[in-house]
Structure 1
Amino acid sequence: MEDDFGFWDVMVSIFWFTILLAWISLLIHILADIFRDDSLSGGKKALWTIFIVLIPWLGALVYIISRGDSMNTRNREAAMARMAVYDSQRSPAPQVSDELQRLAELRDSGVLTPAEYEQAKAKVLA
């Protein structure tokens, strides 16, 4: 008898490995949410963690059913906070380029001398 690991055996192994990775990802996500939640006390966080570590399938199911809505709200708030930080870091650049373009137009039209343009440009870039 030949021990052959055929195509379908590989496909089944890939399927179960994917399920395992999804399960680990879910547990990490739930544990991160437990510790991110400001409304839970330290004792409740410890109890949830113990529940999820000792009885993972039941713990994850109960957590998702009982706290799934608030979990989604916290994820959305965190995403909005990250987006606000990103937007605040990105927004000054267009203002600087708009100001430099306006100064170049004033220089080209003769309103500003080249020396005044360089001085104003240095002030905008500072």
Structure 2
Amino acid sequence: MDDYPLLNLFWTMLWFFLWIMWLFLLFKVIVDIFRSDDLGGWAKAGWLILALVLPYLGVLVYVIARGKSMGKRDAKEAKEREAAFKAYVREAAAGDTAGAAKSGGSIDELAKLADLKERGALTEEEYQRAKTKLLV
């Protein structure tokens, strides 16, 4: 270890992290190739071969040629995931609300209690006591 200076260790780590970042970019490009709806089968095969046979050049050319649409596809997918999550939450809340309506509407009561607490009509202790009664 005495013959490996600290600066060499720094450069080795820098190149290692740059290599890892490039691998992440390569995988992102490959995933984007398969996810892209506007490319046909032969175009996908061509981009994939270019990215795998000449990886540095292939990834660089892909990012230059299709980087903007790559970002748009990422944003679209994120919006779709968020919409699906919100729909799931609404669905789950609707199921809970239906169950709460059967048990006397405890969700509505909790909302009323929280509103009273926010307006200062209830203290924290009173709010906790009333909440405990509703939930038991």
Q: TM-score scaled to structure 2, two decimals?
A: 0.66
Offset of 1:100 from its aligned partner? 2.4
1:23-81 CA distances to partner (integer Å, 9 max, x unpaired)?
Answer: 10011000100000111111111011111111112211211111111111111111111
Cross-structure match for 1:8: 7
Q: Distance in 1 between matches of 2:107 and 2:34?
A: 48
Task: Report what 2:93 is aligned to.
Answer: 93
Residues 56-65 or 45-54, more deviating? 56-65
Structure-2 separation of matches of 1:3 and 1:103? 71
For 1:25, the equivalent position in structure 2 comes to: 24
RMSD: 2.5
Report the residue type matching 2:14 in the other structure: F
TM-fit CA distance, 1:3: 5.4
* Gapped regions of structure 1 (runs ≥ 5): 106-126
1:103 positional shift: 5.9
TM-score normalized by the length of structure 1: 0.71
SS at match of 2:49: helix
**Counterpart position of 1:46:** 45
Shift of 1:102: 2.7
Q: Does 1:74 align with 2:73?
A: yes
SS at match of 2:82: helix
Equivalent positions of 1:55-66 (< 5 A) are 55-66=54-65
How far did residue 12 of structure 1 move?
A: 1.4
- Which secondary structure does the structure 1 equivalent of 2:19 belong to? helix
Identity of aligned residues (%): 33
Q: With CA pairs under 8 Å and 6+ residues apart, which has the higher RCO, 1 or 2?
A: 1
* Counterpart-to-counterpart distance in 2, 1:72 and 1:79: 11
